[in-house]
Amino acid sequence: MILTDLLKQNAERCGDDTALVELNPIHDEVRNLEWQEYELVEAGHAKHFRRTLTWQQFDDRANQFANLLRDKGIRKGDKVSILMMNSIDWLPIYFGILRSGAIAVPLNFRYTSEEIAYCLGLSDATVLIFASEFLERIGEIRHELTKIREFIFVGMDVPDYANSYERLVKDYPANPPEVEIHGDDDAAIYFSSGTTGFPKAILHTQNSLFSAAVTEYKHHGQTKDDVFILIPPLYHTGAKMHWFGSLMSGSKAIILKGTSPKWVLESASLEKATIVWLLVPWAQDILDAIECGEVDLNQFDLSHWRLMHIGAQPVPPSLIRRWKKHFPNHAYDTNYGLSESIGPGSVHLGIENIHKVGAIGKAGHDWQTRIVDEDGRDVKRGDVGELILKGPGVMKEYYGDPEATAQTLKDGWLYTGDMAMEDEDGFIFLVDRKKDVIISGGENIYPVQIEDFLRKNEKIKDVAVIGIADMRLGEVAAAIIELKDGVTASEAEIEVFIKELPRYKRPRMIIFDKVPRNPTGKIEKPKLRKKYNAEEIVAKASEVDRT
């Protein structure tokens, strides 16, 4: 069986039941209401725009888009890229790509124009589906995208170089295209950090995607009555693969626009949510809002909510203790994974193991784990080594990069680059990362990109960007800057300079100091992390203005 078979089954078994709901808070801009079939919903003090799809409508739209792609000449193995914010259209488009036999290539909506062009070229994408939020970025690079032969635009005010998704898709039949698809066929490309800071293209098969649905279903036991709140971006493996449990059970999912504490709680109350997946910052914000009196839990009906789970970054045990104080009846779980292992679930804490909060858990359903030394030999329990994984969701390869593939996949094992140890009960704890990628609020920040940008400043001799521990975001980026001899610069001056960077990439701290390098010229970041993760520096980082 392949993933799209689950969608077909749901259409046949419960076609009239709601599959997806998109919620937009009334105070947010809702684009293109003229063509989007929203309804205004008022419940008490809550007002929002709501849009729904049944399982039959979902299946029909996926088939229509698949037939559109086939008519445009897309064939099995071609690459079709998606650049959209979360919406109710995202998943039918994704499943339409899979149904056509093409390979889905989701793009991070935070990418700059340069990064978009790089990833489209790296993946060999020939079709780009994009929405109005990205008009400016695509406009800047359109003439560089020589491999893209078809631009499809989701929204109104279609640019003259693109075709309208809405106008085209409705004219195609809702029957599935006649394409033979097998489990070992290539299915999707996701992107991860490379050693240069630019992403690598991670290729997964149909079997890999299906395994993610099975893993999520086995871990969290979704039933037809569950209602899943989906908040994180769908371009990422994390959110989508957790939603696969809803696909497996035929249950409803809410695509939530906005992450404010009141909005999350209000939506969970109105939609009778049973499962909510959060990042650490969102959970932290909810707790802070409760404890400062910004929200009153008595205003919401949260009696249906059974499970809160977290992924994408280490979870402070103190956070879960606070959560259980306010939500004593919630089960809690955390999951570990990589885009190379089709997202979360390769390691899994389990709701019965809340006493082990702080650990990432044990091997997930159908997965194996080992902790090894530099020679690939198992270390003794309690010793630190590199975590490696084997399971049905391991990537096929880094697309177009056999050298990187050989370094990461060895004898069927995926080398994660994460340093870990296993305790006496067999639970795995992350210790550090070989890679220098900073995980801030669940998003990867690539230090090399920021360092390269800062080096453009004529006053800067050398720079290193590291992660500083942060109670809310897990980590924040800090730039250690070594100035050229005889020049001066202030923090304010550097902060003005980095405003050219996207907001999420801007260092939260500027530190003037010497940048240590080893005899081979490499920056000694472990020394910097040890020096600047002292209590007083961490406290200062947590006090930085987040606006």
| 71-117 pLDDT tens trace | 999 999 999 999 999 999 999 999 999 999 999 999 999 888 999 99
Angle at 240 between CA 10 and CA 502, to 5 degrees: 150
Task: Say if residue 486's pLDDT is above 70.
Answer: yes
Residue 296: which pLDDT band, with cuts at 50, 70 and 90? very high
Q: In sequence order, what are the residues at sequence separation of 6 or more whose Cβ sits closer than 8 angstroms to the Cβ of residue 242?
A: 216, 228, 230, 277, 309, 311, 343, 344
Would you say residue 457 lies in a domain?
Answer: yes
**Tens-place pLDDT, residues 523-540:** 788 889 888 875 556 566
Residue 355 lies in a domain: no
Whether the CB-CB separation of 77 and 69 falls below 8 Å is answered with: no
Is residue 492 one of the residues assigned to a domain?
A: yes
Residue 212 host element (H or E)? helix 206-220
Q: Does residue 444 sit within a domain?
A: yes
Using the predicted structure, report yes or no on whether residue 146 has a pLDDT greater than 50: yes
**21 falls within a domain:** no
Q: How confident is the model at residue 252 (pLDDT cuts 50, 70, 90)?
A: very high
Going by C-alpha positions, the residue among 325, 374, 114, 104 that lies closest to residue 234 is 104
> Is 441 within 8 Å of 279 (Cβ atoms)?
yes
Q: Is-contact 477 449, C-beta < 8 A?
A: no
Rounded to whole angstroms, how far apart are CA atoms 350 and 335?
A: 8
Residue 246 has pLDDT above 80, yes or no: yes
| Choice among 25-34, 99-108, 132-141, 227-236 with the minimum mean pLDDT | 25-34
Residue 144 within any structural domain of the chain: no
Residue-level pLDDT at 360:
92
Question: What is the tens place of the pLDDT at every residue in 451-466?
Answer: 878 988 989 988 999 9
Per-residue pLDDT at 37: 62
CA 175/CA 177 separation, integer angstroms: 6
Predicted confidence at residue 28, as pLDDT, reads 44
The answer to whether residue 377 sits within a structural domain is: no
* Span 46-59, pLDDT tens digits: 677 889 999 999 99
State how many domains the chain has: 1
Give 491-541 as a DSSP string: HHHHHHHGGGS-GGGS-SEEEE----B-TTS-B-HHHHHHHHTSHHHHHHH
Q: Is 519's pLDDT higher than 70?
A: no
pLDDT recorded at residue 39: 73
CA–CA gap between residue 310 and residue 308 (Å, rounded): 7
- Tell me if 98 is assigned to some domain: no
If you average pLDDT over residues 358-375, what whole number do you get? 95
User: CA-to-CA distance for 193 and 199, rounded, in angstroms?
Assistant: 4
* Predicted pLDDT at 55: 98
Which parts of 357-504 fold into alpha helices (H)? 402-408, 447-454, 491-497
Residues in the chain: 547
What band does 65 get if pLDDT is binned at 50, 70 and 90? very high
CA–CA dist 124, 137 (Å, integer): 19
Does the pLDDT at position 544 exceed 70?
no
Nearest Cα to Cα of residue 157 among 127, 189, 135, 182: 135
Cα separation, 279 vs 15, whole angstroms: 32
| Alpha-carbon gap, residue 287 to 507, rounded angstroms | 26
Q: How many CA atoms within 13 Å lie on the side-chain side of 497?
A: 19
Q: What is the mean pLDDT of residues 214-237?
A: 94
Query: What pLDDT is stored for residue 44 in this prediction?
Result: 57
What is the average pLDDT across 255-281?
91
CA-CA-CA-CA torsion sign (248, 253, 258, 262): negative
| Residue with more model confidence, 435 or 127 | 127
What pLDDT is attached to residue 258? 83
Average confidence (pLDDT) over 134-160:
95
171-200 pLDDT per residue, tens: 999 999 999 999 999 999 999 854 445 789
Range of the domain at 478: 438-542
Do residues 226 and 274 make contact, with C-beta atoms less than 8 angstroms apart?
A: yes
Average pLDDT over the chain, rounded to an integer: 89
CATH of the domain at 497: 3.30.300.30
Amino acid code (one letter) for 263? W
Is pLDDT at 22 greater than 90 in this prediction?
yes
The 10 Å CB-count burial string (b at 16+, else e) for 75-100 is eeebbbbbbbbbbbbbbbbbbbbbbb
Question: Which helix (H) or strand (E) segment is 228 a member of?
Answer: strand 227-230
